[in-house]
Chains A and B, each alone.
Chain A
Amino acid sequence: MSETVFMKGNEAMAEAVIRAGCRFYFGYPITPQNEVPAYMARRLPETGGTFIQAESELAAINMVFGAAVAGARAMTSSSSPGISLKQEGISYLAACELPSVIANVMRGGPGLGNISPSQSDYWQSTRGGGHGDYRTIVLAPHTVTEMVELTMDAFDLADLYRNPVLVLSDGLLGQMMEKVIFPDPEARKKDGLLRGRPLPPKDWALTGAQGRAPRFIRSLIMKQGALEEHNFKLAEKYARIEVEEPLAESLACENADIMLIGFGTSARVAKQAQLMLAEHGIKAGLFRPITLWPFPSEQLATLARKVDRFLVIEMNTGQMIEDVKLVIARERSLKEVRVELLPRPGGGVPFPEEIVARAREVLK
């Protein structure tokens, strides 16, 4: 049964974690995600789960490692500076192929930055983030309901691919209250990103080798050539994910005068701008990557064939635009089309009017 409630983004996400069957949450305070650990501290004991407040982000991510290696669904959340501290652990999780979910409620950076919503961790999230040759699946919701859905999906994708999955929201989505629809978790396994695929048994988990051969999970791979082999194996998995999982929402992009491109909160604002542009008689399309990695390249490439003007809206100084340009350059000469940026770094959130004005400029 689905359920409709009025709820704050961070709390709704926390509830989604519990409904997705995760019983191990490890957190540490940082604004603007504090509602997640507070909710978990209250709710998890009621469900027989375990909440631990760690002594640092490093400890929290390694607690996730510990629970994941034992085969449990495990999760942590933080905000940008805290996610930076978790990068070592995320690299180890990726190396050991441990399913895990990490929520980043982004705030302004670099450094301590501020506590306003931001999207400046796009590069960090989509390029691996920590050391070594790895990728994490990155899901970017633009409503609280989608935050719930993608969080549930994140656990499924993590289990399916034995890989860390990031849910990338921001301070605006985390702190806002709106109508939230909680899907039935079983129904979500069919309707969501899992698309009904069966989850593999966790026949790698370290559960105590009673009557079976011992299992090994390691990220220190010293034998000559063995790490190279391991990294190629990981790369094959990433290539498979790049084929299977890219997802985007596109609205009226066919033969549009201009295509607005953004993810998360930026896309949410751009949707309003799209309607306002229509009032000016401008046919604006909207392209919203839902998976930031894998980037929905094929979808964008197909749509880009018939559009000449692109406006990328990002709450940073321009990060996703690099991926956008790479894709468009496959189909078109960047000399004949215009790919422009509306950047709002450091905690700025664009107004729809700003997007409209910039779009009209780009169309001149």
Chain B
Amino acid sequence: MLNLKQLASKEKVGLAGGHRACAGCGFPQIISMIFGQSPAPVVSGCSTGCMEIATTIYPFTAWRGNFMHSAFENSAATISGIETAYRALKKQGRLPADENLNFVALGGDGGTYDIGFQALSGAMERGHNMLYVCYNNEAYMNTGVQRSSATPQGGHTTTSPAGKVIPGKTQYPKDLTGIMAAHSIPYVAQGSVGYHIDLMRKADKAFSIEGPKFMNVYTPCRLGWGSDPAKTMEIARLAVDTCMWPLYEVVDGQWKLTRKVREKKGITEFYKTQNRFRHLLKPENDEFVKEIQAEVDRRWHVLLSKCGEGA
């Protein structure tokens, strides 16, 4: 694994400066940290979303490698096609046999959990040699903050508005990482932009494995979350320390916790850092918050037992 210093000196990796992501946005770091671990050049594709918009404003591109933008629902399918063509051309001897490329499909949580889920599931089942990276900021941010199936319960978005009748999103978030593990693919991992060594280790491991890989990487969105852009990393770590976003990996079906949480913090510690949860801190929502805490605890204990850790 390359450390941050080595990564910084590695040329022509990931994104060039001058992309237009917001201050405090996590995805540029995610790209740098993941792409930097690839020993081979990376061919990537991204579904429609902030990442694609902010990095490819015509006629510019911030991508240093080959990059393909697809529609909202199909980055996994587009990369499947590219990877298949590459394999076929190699087989026919039209590309050098000793050359290697890595293929990475990217999508936000809307493009991965919701509309792109079918294409993702298909690509993983077919077994393409590719890595799918979901950068999960828990809502459709590019279109102006709509709820997704990754939005946590109680989260305020423009389509799950917190008001007198409804306290934000009423449903629990989908456990996509678990669903991808159920695809029985060689590598599945959950990471956070705030724990960069853990994230880079996972990327390094993913690139060393042949076959379909999936990484679900957590990142705050200062606009959608109403959070301080200077505290992006801190908040991304807090999600892990409250067990709302545990860090783990599943290698060939073996679950492993990659960050043990010794002093688990309450979810309200996480809520305090973001406006989207402001309403949950009011006394009238105490019961609701208790319910959410119970569900977070339940999921945490299920994960611990899967990972063979004592609860």
Contact = CB atoms under 8 A, between A and B. Distances in A.
A34 B158 CA distance: 9
A98 B146 CA distance: 29
Nearest to B140: A29
Interface stretch (A38-46, A88-96, A129-137): A38-46
A55 interface: yes
B159 A37 contact: yes
Given A31-B143, A55-B114, A41 B159 contact: yes
Contact of B146 (A37, A81, A85): A37
Interface string B59-102: 00000000001011100000000000000000000000000000
B167 interface: no
Nearest to B58: A114
Given A42-B161, A112-B71, A55 B146 contact: no
B165 A29 contact: no
B114 A34 contact: no
B166 A45 contact: yes
Contacts of B73: 56, 85
Given A27-B159, A38-B158, A81-B71, A55 B149 contact: yes
B17 to A, nearest CB: 25
Contact of A42 (B72, B115, B163): B163
B173 interface: no
Interface residues of A, number: 21
A306 B9 CA distance: 75
B159 A45 contact: no
A238 to B, nearest CB: 32
A96 B114 CA distance: 28
B97 to A, nearest CB: 35
Given A29-B143, A45-B166, A51 B159 contact: yes
A55 B111 CA distance: 9
Nearest to A45: B165
Interface in B113-147: 114-115, 117, 140, 142-144, 146-147
B147 A34 contact: no
Contacts, number: 53
Contacts of A38: 144, 146, 158-159, 161
Contacts of A85: 73
B55 interface: no
B50 to A, nearest CB: 12
A28 B143 CA distance: 10
Interface string A101-116: 0000000000110000
B5 to A, nearest CB: 38
B114 A56 contact: yes
A112 B78 CA distance: 15
B146 A29 contact: yes
A34 B161 contact: no
B161 A53 contact: no
Contacts of A51: 159
Chain A CB count within 10 A is highest, among B143, B159, B161, for B159
B163 A34 contact: no
A41 B162 CA distance: 10
A275 interface: no
Contacts of B147: 53
B153 interface: no
26 contacts: A27-B159, A28-B115, A29-B110, A29-B143, A29-B144, A29-B159, A31-B142, A31-B144, A34-B143, A34-B158, A37-B159, A38-B146, A38-B158, A41-B158, A41-B160, A45-B166, A53-B146, A55-B114, A56-B73, A56-B114, A81-B72, A85-B73, A111-B71, A112-B48, A112-B69, A112-B71
